Amino acid sequence: MKVGYVRVSCGETQNTARQDTLMAELQVDKIYTDKMSGKDASNRPQLQSMLDFVREGDVVVSESISRIARSTRDFLSIMDKLNQKGVTYISRKESIDTSTPQGVFMMTVFAALSELERQTTRQRALEGIAEAKKRGVYKGRKPIAIDAGKFKSVYTDWKAGKITAVEAYKKLGISASSWYRRVKDYGNRGATL
């Protein structure tokens, strides 16, 4: 089945006519249309419905990549979902067809660019933190405050085998890593937090 995805931003003067005409030319069987910003893929109900609907062997068509996704990360996430379902994607404007070697190559390029963007952002953040530490203005995140009496009670129950570690950190409202860090600190200090 050939499935079309059409999107225009809410409040734009443009309408879907041009994209609808393209879908008719391509003899698309079913069309999903969102009239809203493409900024966040998870907040586009018709996109989510389309991703739920498509099955192995289907083809998803959009006028351009910018209609289906507004960021490389969103685009790759959507392509991953389609790929896992065995669905081909075609972008008319960019001439991308993921059923061809050239289309797969383009996906690889997009993935590499996205990874470069992530690593560059991470590197800048680490450099910024290092610089802030030099100036003495970066202290890191403050630890989550936990009532000492409550921690001791939960710790004692966990140590006695009355509850699991999962139950313990859920009772305290902290993550697993925070729980184990606190347990280690508690054990090293004897009976103080």
Cross-sheet strand order for the sheet of 59-62:
30-35, 2-8, 59-62, 88-91, 96-97
Cβ-contact 114, 73 below 8 angstroms: yes
If one counts every other C-beta atom within 10 angstroms of the C-beta of residue 60, the result is 26
Residue 9 known to be catalytic: yes
Residue 151's nearest CA partner among 175, 183, 177 is 183
Name the catalytic one among 9, 37, 64, 114.
9
DSSP string, 32-93: EEEES-SS-GGG-HHHHHHHHH--TT-EEEES-HHHH-SSHHHHHHHHHHHHHTT-EEEETT
Active site (catalytic) residues: 9
